[in-house]
Chains A and B, each alone.
Chain A
Amino acid sequence: MNKTKIKWNVIAYFVMITFTLLTIAPIVWMILNSFKPHSDIVRNPLSPPTSLYLQNFVRSWVQGHLGVYFYNSIFYSMISTVLTVIIAMGSGYALSKFRYNFSKIIYMFYTLGLLITVHSVIVPLFIMETKLGIANTRLGVIIPYIAFGLPFQVFLATTYVKGIPDAMQESAIIDGANYLQVFFTIILPIATPIISTMFIYTFLGNWNEFILVQTLTSEIAIRSLPVGINSFAGGMSRDYGLQFSALVIGTVPMIIFYLIFRDKIAQGFAAGATKE
């Protein structure tokens, strides 16, 4: 082996291990501390727990209403993700296979939408929802979740459906099927790979969303996990054990989700930055 190659391998190992430790250490530390009582965390922040102290979890779950927040997060993420993906697939099919000229304009609108962030419309959105009476309701959260998911998901769907050969659609149409039948019986089944990527990517985004729920809701009963954890751990609790257990409750389900779906999540992110 030549020397420069070995030198590069050493550097590469050093870089990889450093990054991995930097990423993992805080998470491991958080999990370890969640099993320690407050006094123990303050006195010996770096030492591992001496016994399996589960009281933090019981108390933060009950006092912090984490059960309610957890349920709401699942509710918002599931419903808006399913609707976003169905709507985006329908739009993607229409935009890529119908060959109307105005499709290009609609597609361009969605692309511009990628640049608009929640923060630039949150003020009018709040005013509109208050006027319509849907502020502080579940509907008032789900609608913007879907709308903000759309630009990127329409982009993913359109790009994918464009790649499906026209011949499949044409022969079905000649056999007398209508376009909606083609969509449900041909396009959707073929597009399963992109649908699962879209689903997982959107779900992840919705699960971690913060500012919309923070602004548009004010009742514990309809708030989601990130907002709940923030108000709970940031405000009321001086007990570090409770804070750490709340953070673990917010993190561990997503780490499991990640370990199962890592490739799909990666595909979603990679697809966004690929030109053509």
Chain B
Amino acid sequence: MTFKQQKMASYWLLIAPGLILFAAVIVFPVFYSFSLSFTKWSGYGKSLFVGLENYRNIFSDPVFLHGLRNNMLIVAISVFGQIPLGFLLAYMLHRKMVRGGEFYQTMIFLPITISPVVVALLWNQIFSSSGIVTALIRNFSGNSQYVMKIFEDKSQAIIPILFVLLWMHTGTYMIIYLANLQKINPSVLEAAQIDGATEGQMFFRIILPSMVGTITTTAIFAIAGSLKAFDLIYAMTGGGPAHFTEVIAIYMYTNTFKYYKYGFGSAVSIIIVLLSVGLILILQSASKKIEKKYE
């Protein structure tokens, strides 16, 4: 074997296992899913080509539309809740506004280790009739018969879930921003301080502009993560009661694995991919404009 051949052989030996797995488990199924989405198929027998019928049915199904609305609320709570709160916490820690920052940081980041399923069941207990929320409200309002009714309301049932998502993920954003804030050269800030810059000026002129890239990247994560919100809601409510807390991923799951509508389910999963790519593209072009403004 010549040296060149040896190099080439080593290359493929190192690359092939990953590439084969990646192609078989991710790339191929995406295309498979795409082709299935134009068919009607119940899992066995022949599949029937139906063109765009699945997509038409999905978009005229009120359950899907309500799920889509819930997903958009989840996107909103991630982008306008978790990200600003995470940033605020990171900034306070970075500027050493509290003593023992390490302790707070460890505690607030903690939910990251807990499985979404455990988080879901724990919060179900918290919201249950023998849970913390009910007990506290009963204590403070003096009404010992109080029962939480929020899950029985179609438009509000998602709110407790949004709160739990905030609880789970804010710490993650805090950690990401903290790591990136620490990369800002401290001598720049010192120089600004010597020149008499106020805290506010330093924040808006130095810190925020250097974080635009990171914020965009985390917003992309947030959007992609929001659309796949599944584990937590599946274990908490399963999309119920009466589809009030439905999200697209659960809609896909029930249609496929409960009603055996494989073609229909595939069409929903293609919609998830398209939606996340679409939202991310919009976000990227928006952030490019912001970055230009700061240049």
Contact = CB atoms under 8 A, between A and B. Distances in A.
A2 to B, nearest CB: 10
B291 to A, nearest CB: 11
A94 B11 CA distance: 6
A167 interface: no
A126 B170 CA distance: 33
A145 B7 CA distance: 30
Contacts of B26: 113, 116, 121, 147-148, 151
Contacts of A225: 115
Interface stretch (A16-24, A53-61, A190-198): A16-24
A208 interface: yes
Given A26-B123, A229-B121, A211 B22 contact: no
B242 to A, nearest CB: 18
Contacts of A207: 115
The residue in B27, B29, B30, B273 that gathers the most chain A C-beta atoms within 10 A of its C-beta is B29
Contacts of A115: 224, 273, 276-277, 280
Contact of A254 (B114, B171, B273): B114
A158 to B, nearest CB: 11
Contact of B125 (A124, A243, A269, A273): A243
Interface in A119-146: 119-128, 143-144, 146
A90 B17 contact: yes
B104 interface: yes
Contact of B179 (A29, A119, A247, A266): A266
A257 B249 CA distance: 30
B243 to A, nearest CB: 18
Interface in B100-122: 101, 103-104, 106-118, 120-122
Interface string B205-221: 00000000110011001
A27 B110 contact: yes
A270 B130 contact: no
Q: Per DSSP, are chain B's interface residues mostly helix, strand or loop, or mixed?
A: helix
By size class, the interface of chain A is 35 or more
A67 interface: no
Q: Per DSSP, are chain A's interface residues mostly helix, strand or loop, or mixed?
A: helix
Contacts of A24: 107, 110
B27 A179 contact: no
Contacts of B25: 121, 125, 143-144, 147-148
Contact of A98 (B11, B18, B217): B11
B21 A146 contact: yes
A185 interface: no
B199 interface: yes
Contacts of B217: 272-275
Contact of A124 (B13, B21, B218, B266): B266
Interface in B252-295: 252-253, 256-257, 262, 265-266, 269-270, 272-273, 276-277, 280
A30 interface: yes
Contact of B249 (A19, A95, A119, A178): A119
Contact of A210 (B28, B92, B115, B125): B115
B230 interface: yes
A75 interface: no
Contacts of B36: 123-124
A178 B15 contact: no
Nearest to A117: B228
A16 B231 contact: no
Contacts of A122: 253, 256, 269
B148 interface: no
B14 interface: yes
B204 interface: no
A19 B167 CA distance: 9
Enumerate the 6 nearest inter-chain pairs by beta-carbon distance, A residue then B residue, closest first. Answer: A270-B179, A147-B25, A12-B97, A179-B10, A121-B29, A90-B14
9 contacts: A24-B110, A46-B135, A93-B14, A123-B269, A143-B25, A147-B26, A183-B10, A229-B115, A269-B112
Interface of A: 4-5, 8-9, 12-13, 15-17, 19-20, 22-27, 29-30, 33, 41-42, 45-46, 87-88, 90-91, 93-95, 98, 100, 106, 109-110, 113, 115-128, 143-144, 146-148, 150-151, 154, 178-180, 183, 204, 207-208, 210-211, 215, 225-227, 229-230, 233-234, 240, 243-244, 247, 250-251, 254-255, 257-259, 262, 265-267, 269-270, 272-275
Interface of B: 6-7, 10-11, 13-15, 17-19, 21-22, 24-30, 32-33, 36, 43, 88-89, 92-93, 97-98, 101, 103-104, 106-118, 120-123, 125-126, 130-132, 134-136, 167, 170-172, 175-176, 178-180, 199, 213-214, 217-218, 221, 224, 227-228, 230-231, 234-235, 249, 252-253, 256-257, 262, 265-266, 269-270, 272-273, 276-277, 280
